[in-house]
Amino acid sequence: MSIFIDDELCTGCGNCVENCAFSGIEIIDNKAIINENCSFCGACLDGCPVNAILIEREEFKIEKIDLSQYRGVWVIAEHYKNIVHPVAFQLLGKGGELAKELGVNLTFVILGADFDDRLEDFSLYGPDKIIYIKSPILKQYYSDLYVEALSDLIIKKKPEIILIGATPTGRDFAPRVAKRLNAGLTADCTGLEIDQNTRNLLQTRPTFGGTLMATIRTPNSRPQMATVRPGIFQSPERMRKKTAIRKIEYNFKEEDLVTKIIKVIDKERSSVNLEEAEIIVAGGRGVGSKENFEMIEELAEVLGAELGGSRVTVELNWLDQDRQIGQTGKTVSPKLYIACGISGAIQHLVGMQNSEIIVAINKDRKAPIFNVAHYGIVGDLHEIVPVLIEEIKKNKNKE
C-alpha cells in the first residue's frame, strides 16, 4: 500500500494540508509532500481539486464478497431488569428511515427470558420483523452468549446494516461480534446516511474529541455495523403495524459460560435522568463554589429542569458524578440547555452540542461555549442568574 503525489498535477494549493488531521502532508517548494505522519486515511484525496493524490492498495486484499446477498436493517436491543434501553427504540426510528431508503425490512432483535408479552408492544415502534432469542439464563447479560447467538444468526440471515446502542453493554458485545464476522464496526455514530449508488452506510462520528467529524464507510464487506449513543436519534411515533415475530429458543446452560456472575449488588438507583431530561441547567468552574451551586439548582428547580455540570465541578465535589456531562460523563440532547460558567472545553461540548437550544452565560466573550450557543449572555452569572430566576417565576405566575 502506498500513497503518491503526481508532481505534474499538483498545484501546491495546500487543500490537502488543511484536510489532513495527522500533519501527514506538507507543501515544500510548491508541491505537496507526504511525510511519516501519514496514516493512509485518504482524507486528502477528496479535497484535491486536480486529483493529484493517489492511494494504491494491494489488490489481493479484497476477497470480493457478493454484497447483494446481504439485505435488511437490524437493531439489536439491550435490557436491564426487564426494561429495554430506550436507545433501541431511537435506533428503530433511524433504522426505519434507512430501511425505507434501501427498500428492505427493518428487524428488531432482542435476547432475553421474559419478553413474550412485550413483543406486541415492541412492534408499535415500526419493525417489520422481531427476532426474539429466548433462554432462561438471558435474564442477565453474558458477553459470550450474546456473541454466540448473534453471530450465528447474522451469518444465517445476512443483514446489511446492524445498529447497536453505544452503551457499555453494546460496546462489550458489538466489537466481539464484528471480529467474529470480520465486519467493519464504527463506534459512537452521530449521523447515518445511505449512499444510494453503492448502498453503503455513511457513518459520521466525532473524532479528536469532537474537534473534527469523520465519515466512515465499509465499502467492501458486509454487514456494516455501527454503535450509536443514546439521545442522538428520536424514538418514532408508535403505531399499529403488522409485524412478523420469530422466537428462537436456546438451551444455554450455566456450565457452558466462560464468565460466571457470582453476585449482583444493586446500588441506590440514581434518580438523575439527564439523558431523558427536556431541560438541563448545567454549571461549570465559573460557578465558583459548592455554595454558589445552590443558585444554579434553584434555576433548575423553577424551570423543572435536571441539574448537570462539567467534569471539573465533579472533580471539585460540587456535584455528584452521575450529573457529569461530556466525553467521560453523559451525552445529552434536551430541548433547552443552559450553560452557566462553562467555558466549553471540547470534552464538554461533545456531550451536549446536540441540544435543541443552548443558552450560554459566561464572563469571557471568547469562551468556546459561545460557538455552540444559540443565545449568548456575556456577564457575571452570579448577578444574572438570580434576576433570571425571578423573571421565570413571574412568567410562570402569569400563566
Partner 1 sequence: MKVFVCIKQVPGVSEVRIDPKTNTLVREGIPSIINPYDKNAIELALTIKEENGAEVIAISMGPPQAEEILREALSMGVDKAFLLTDKAFAGADTLATSYTLALAIKRILKSAKNKKDYLVILGAQAIDGDTGQVGPELAEELDIPQITYVQKFELKENKIIVERIFRTEEVVIIETQLPALLSVLREINIPRFPTMSGIVDAYTKKEVISLDANELKPDKRKIGLNGSMTEVWKIFIPERKAEQIIIKGTNEEIAQELCRNLKNDKIL
Subset of 34-63 contacting partner 1 (CB under 8 A): 36-43, 46, 57-58, 60-61, 63
- Find the part of the chain contacting partner 1 (CB under 8 A) among 92-100, 117-125, 154-162, 261-269: 261-269
Q: What's the burial of 105, exposed, middle or buried (CB within 10 Å: 0-12/13-18/19+)?
A: middle
Return all residues near 83 (Cβ < 8 A) that are at least 6 apart: none
**Quick one: 31 or 180, whose CB is closer to partner 1?**
180
Q: Which of 28, 83, 239, 258 binds partner 1 (CB under 8 A)?
A: 258
**Quick one: 134 or 171, whose CB is closer to partner 1?**
171
Is residue 207 within 8 A of residue 213, CB to CB? The reply is: yes
DSSP 149-163: HHHHHHHHH--SEEE
Residue where the block lists cell 423553577? 302
154 is written with which cell numbers? Answer: 447474522
- Give the three-class secondary structure for 17: helix
Q: Does 80 bind partner 1 (CB under 8 A)?
A: yes
Return all residues near 149 (Cβ < 8 A) that are at least 6 apart: 111, 133, 248, 250
Q: How far is the CB of 250 from partner 1 (least distance, A)?
A: 19
**Quick one: 85 or 157, whose CB is closer to partner 1?**
85
Q: Which of 108, 122, 125, 370 binds partner 1 (CB under 8 A)?
A: 370
d(CA 24, CA 141): 43
**Quick one: 24 or 96, whose CB is closer to partner 1?**
24
**Quick one: 73 or 174, whose CB is closer to partner 1?**
174
Q: What character string, x for contact with partner 1 (CB under 8 A) and - otherwise, covers 265-294?
A: xxxxxx--------x---------------
- The maximal CA–CA distance of the chain, rounded, in angstroms, is 73
Site for partner 1 in 325-354 (CB under 8 A): 327, 335-336, 345-347, 353
Q: What character string, x for contact with partner 1 (CB under 8 A) and - otherwise, covers 145-174?
A: --x-------------------xxx-xxxx
